[in-house]
Amino acid sequence: MEQFDTTTNAGQILAAASGGRRRAGDRIFSNLATVSAVTILLLLAGVAAFLFAEGLPAITAGADELPGGQSFVDYVAPLAFGTVLAAALASILAVPLAVAVALFITHIAPPKVALTLGYLVDLLAAVPSIVYGLWGIFVLGPAAVPVMQWLEENLGFIPFFEGPASATGRTMFVVGLVLAVMILPIVSAIAREAFSQTPRKLQEGAQALGATRWEMIRITVLPFGRSSIISGAMLGLGRALGETMAVTIILSVSGIVTFNLIGQSNPSTIAANIALDFPESSGLAINLLIATGLVLFAITLATNFLARWVISRQMTE
């Protein structure tokens, strides 16, 4: 017998039984639901459309008309560089840790406390970004100063730690650390989901062959979760790209482009630049900031598209 989709099917049979036409209540309700669905798609399209409409004057304006006397591309390029640098640093720091956290919760911690531990990690995601910003500038920044000095003295030959080390902790390095903490819960939640779905027979089979727990994880759990780790890392990257307040508060910015992570002057990020300048701007400066927002939107959208594509491809496999 064919596999019927029971819910819609029953509805159709019912409609047929009542003379073939759907009742008024049904029509109204299903239209409401459809309208909501369409509204959401329109909303997303609207975000792109309105940003484009308001950003266009700045994109087409000549360099002499814009506030800084730079063309739009010259203005946005260092910001985009800073955005990508901060987000990449955060992902590099967060992903290995997030995988370890996910493994600990799914396979190492006693099952009884695992749920609570997972909840603790989720709490990290619930902390508002303004609080991360204050914590970063008042607590983590000062604590990181000796670490940055050590990095300058001992690893100063690497361009990243060229120095001179900042004495305040308002550096890209600290921003990367804070962003890493902020994206850790997202990456680890997705890894956790995949790890806990590793087929039991694979895991038990490995252990029955005499594998230790780590060998079992290495040959079954990690390969099974690999694409989830990749997509989780990209979602985390997307989150870090758009994170605003923590960067705005912590980073001491100037318009330069540098890979030096521990110095006093750092490239700003698109989001932080908007938050810093928007309240005091007017006229074409607003359009310029909205145009940079459009660039940020495009970057995060591309990252998310890619991540979701990886996930959906893996689900069909």
Partner 1 sequence: MAPTLDKRAGVEPLPQPLTLGPSGFSGGNLPSWGQYAVVAGALAFSAAFLAALGSFSIGLMLALTVLVSCVGVYAWSRAVEGPRRAVDRAVTLSIAAAFGLAMIPLISLLFEVTKRGIPGLSAEFFTGDARGVIGGGGAQHAIVGTLVITGVAVVISVPIGIMAAIYLVEYGRGKLGRALTFFVDVMTGIPSIVAGLFAYALFELFFGPGIRLGVMGSVALSVLMIPIVIRSAEEVLKIVPNHLREASYALGTPKWKTIVKIVLPTAFAGLVTGVMLATARVIGETAPLLVTTGVIDSLNTDPFEGRMQNLAVFAYSEYRSPGVNKQEAYDLAWAAALTLIAIVMVLSIVARLVYRRYKTEIR
Evaluate whether 289 touches 277 at the Cβ level (below 8 Å): yes
CA distances for 314 relative to 99, 194, 268, 311, angstroms:
18, 11, 36, 5
Does the protein bind partner 1 through residue 14 (CB under 8 A)?
A: yes
What whole-number distance in Å separates Cα of residue 230 and Cα of residue 237?
A: 10
- Binding partner 1 (rule: CB under 8 A), the pick from 16, 39, 197, 257 is 39
- The nearer residue to partner 1, 77 or 117, going by C-beta atoms, is 117
CB of 159 to partner 1, least distance (A): 25
Q: How far is Cα of residue 186 from the mean position of the Cα atoms in its chain? A: 8
- Min dist. Cβ of residue 154 to partner 1 (A): 14
Contact region for partner 1 (CB under 8 A) — 70-78, 119-127, 156-164, 196-204? Answer: 119-127
Q: Which residues contact 297 (CB under 8 A, 6 or more apart)?
A: 47, 48, 51
Place of tokens 């209540």: 25
Q: Which of 116, 168, 197, 212 binds partner 1 (CB under 8 A)?
A: 212
Q: Is 61 left (phi over 0), alpha (psi -120 to 50) or beta?
A: beta
Nearer to partner 1, 101 or 253 (CB): 101
Q: 22 or 259: whose CB is closer to partner 1?
A: 22
Q: Which pair of tokens denotes residue 128? A: 């508002």
Q: Does 198 bind partner 1 (CB under 8 A)?
A: no
Alpha carbons 150 and 168: distance in angstroms, whole number: 15
CB 287 within 8 A of CB 54: yes
Judged by CB under 8 A, does residue 165 bind partner 1? no
Return the range that interacts with partner 1 (CB under 8 A); candidates 64-72, 151-159, 162-170, 235-243: 235-243
- Cα 125 to Cα 129: distance, rounded to the nearest angstrom: 9
Binding residue for partner 1, selected from 16, 21, 29, 201, defined by CB under 8 A: 29
Positions 129 through 158 that interact with partner 1 (CB under 8 A) = 129-135, 137-140, 143
Find the helix packing angle between 111-126 and 172-196, rounded to 10°. 140
Give the footprint of partner 1 on residues 44-103 (CB under 8 A).
Answer: 44, 46-47, 50-51, 53-54, 96-98, 100-101, 103
| Near partner 1 in 238-297, by CB under 8 A | 238-239, 241-245, 248-249, 271, 274-275, 278-279, 282-283, 286, 289-290, 293, 296-297
